[in-house]
Structure 1
Amino acid sequence: MSKTHNFQGLETVLQLDGPALDLLELALGGLADQQDLARWLCAAGYVYPDSANSRRLLLADPDGTALASVEVRPSSTISDNSLDVAQLKPLARSEHGPGRASRLTSALTTQSAVLFSEAPTVSEIHKLSLSTVASQAFLVLVSSSKRASQTDYPNQLRELHDAALLAGAQGAGHLIIPEEADMQQVVQRAVMEVLYDFRKPTDESLVQQGLVVLFSGLSGSGKSTLARSVMERIHLEMNREAVLLDGDDIRRFVSKGLGFSPEDRETNVVRIGWIASRISQVGGIALCAPIAPFAQARAQMRALAEQAGRFVLVHVNTPLEVCEARDRKGLYAKARAGLVKDFTGIDSPYEVPEDASLTLDLSTLSIEAASDQVLELIRSTHH
């Protein structure tokens, strides 16, 4: 997810990571259209097509190093509610992403290419070694950004380089293409001649996708209890890795020092979203159980999660009077007495989600029955 920083009198700086960085590299190397980058900037909400004037942006990596400068302006096509990109200029080389030393970001101009979507098999290596032009061939692993984030990807690269040695090929590299770019177009621009194409049809079901589940609801609604139950059943029934990110735990270890103002609450939720997206990026399931009272913070969390995998929102809609009657931590009593300020449901609002995948009332539904519904949702999301 990009972060926007405004500096007085200077350009806006957007810090990019993941697929956005991949797209920028391809655009800088001439393998992706600059307009793909413009569409991404617009779709992600970092610049808006109805802006009256051109804007100059600095595009930076997660460390804040400016990699490129770009000017964006409203599209010259009246009917096209988008942006045009002009003057995309490189400023520094990227240091992020897997397999940096063998990554292809510009066109191969001399060697014939052999394309793979997974590490070469023994039979593919044998076939290549028998070719009379194998010594001029360059092995290319073509991957999506999502595939490149999987934990086994470094092994795929190692096996690719081993295959190049065994087959007597010229060398090996890999091409990472985000879904925002046209894969076929990028490959055509990257290689002049394809000797063999061993790529297999894309099957997303073969790549274990990550998932972020946000359980949002009032304090005392039962969301943490439900999330724990769901985590245990995922481990038992789905044989998947699942991690619980509870709002209180995050405050103790990650957001220590934050208060309970609306701004601090949003910051806490976004931090949870960032951690959850990293769990999802490597194929895990992140179960998040903060109150998350504000729609804007939940939307930011969704955007972070959907860059890495999938996202579902479970609204734990237990009524306020039930939550207050439970009051295990005594917080409602303190809020009523004025000892705790900005307490959700008392003197701070809870914005009811309009985009929930599932709504559950744990005053009328058992944890077991609610867990059944969440597990069904998770399974349907992964098919």
Structure 2
Amino acid sequence: MNLPATTHVLTSDELDLLELHLGGGTPTMALGTVTDRPVTLTDAENTPLAVLESDGRATPVKPLARAAGPHWDAALRRGAHDVRDEVRRAVGPDADVLALVVDEPPTRDEIDALADLAAGTAAVVVLAPATRRTPPPGTLGGPGLARAAAVVRDALLGAGARATAAVVPWPAAMPVTAELRWDDVAAAYGADRALRLADRRTQETRDRLARLDRLWADEVAALYPDPVAAEISRTAQGARREGTVVFFTGLSGSGKSTVARALAAELDDEGLPTTLLDGDEVRQHLSKGLGFDKASRELNVERIGYVASLVAHHGGIAVAAPIAPFASGRARVRELAQAAGRFVLVHVSTPLEVCEARDRKGLYAKARAGEIAEFTGISSPYEEPDDADLVIDTSVTSVEDAVAQVRSVL
């Protein structure tokens, strides 16, 4: 009889759920992988993050990786236990606390209604659900929701209410979300009840929002004769910007994935269609089954380059972050990308000793002990690029500054 798996690689939604659970936002970590034996939960890089017991409770093993952006601000992204303790220390255990959920951009209607909503309450906790998953085009993502929540908090403070804001890790789409009720999560964050702010919109505002998508088409129809208006609409639908591939290369632990994720999140937040192709995650899917000999590594990098070039061909931005240790593989990616659009090579040149000190999975120690063959930087060479458009050392450059430097090149 086959025993159930004791390791589970978490999806983006499940990482959100784990973070929410570990912070005290949910009593259990409900996954279909729960068995009668402990399950080690890992991220896509196979870093063990927590051990899930059969009762649905998880014990942390290593900290979850953090990214950049306003929705990762430590002052906002706090565990439910911390927020609850802060609120209840301020107002007492029996005072009435309201949670306002900001999951859509607040309109003037909602802002104008804040004083009435806060009346009679001892405090208001503004909750902004943020997901690791890239939001659909035109949808406000984690960075925007975090900024919107801060606007709501500041408006409440300006109206004389006691208010705080918190970013809540929230699975974007998975069956388990049916078990996550805002009332329950709000209670974990110290509130007695939850109210979705967008539910306070007037019907007039709802109607105006529904018409937004039609306004442009109506104006085009009014300005141009019908045949010309049809041409304008057709051209607008087919319009696209030049595609771009931003390709990060560097040693394991150099920080390239962290910077790449932060860059992709920032571009997404600005409405630019961005696809992130992280090296370890690609290994889980696109290149599953490949080894780590030179030929396999070159094939893995070429596959990443091919997918990135398809994204660029259709006007999108592909952000890739494999180790890509060999110059020949990087040259092939450049060739594919430049045939489709623009190519930017970023060398994350963090020193080897810093990468080893950061190693969350103990891979460098295993490689030095001979347990891992052909490990880049130890038993397999890393050919530093001499054609990089940008060189960043994350041991002396913050994630925010690194993203800014890449943006300046773009």
Q: TM-score range by the shorter chain?
A: 0.3 to 0.5
Structure with greater strand share of residues: 1
What TM-score does the superposition give when structure 2 sets the normalisation length? Answer: 0.43
What TM-score does the superposition give when structure 1 sets the normalisation length? Answer: 0.46
Structure with greater helix share of residues: 2
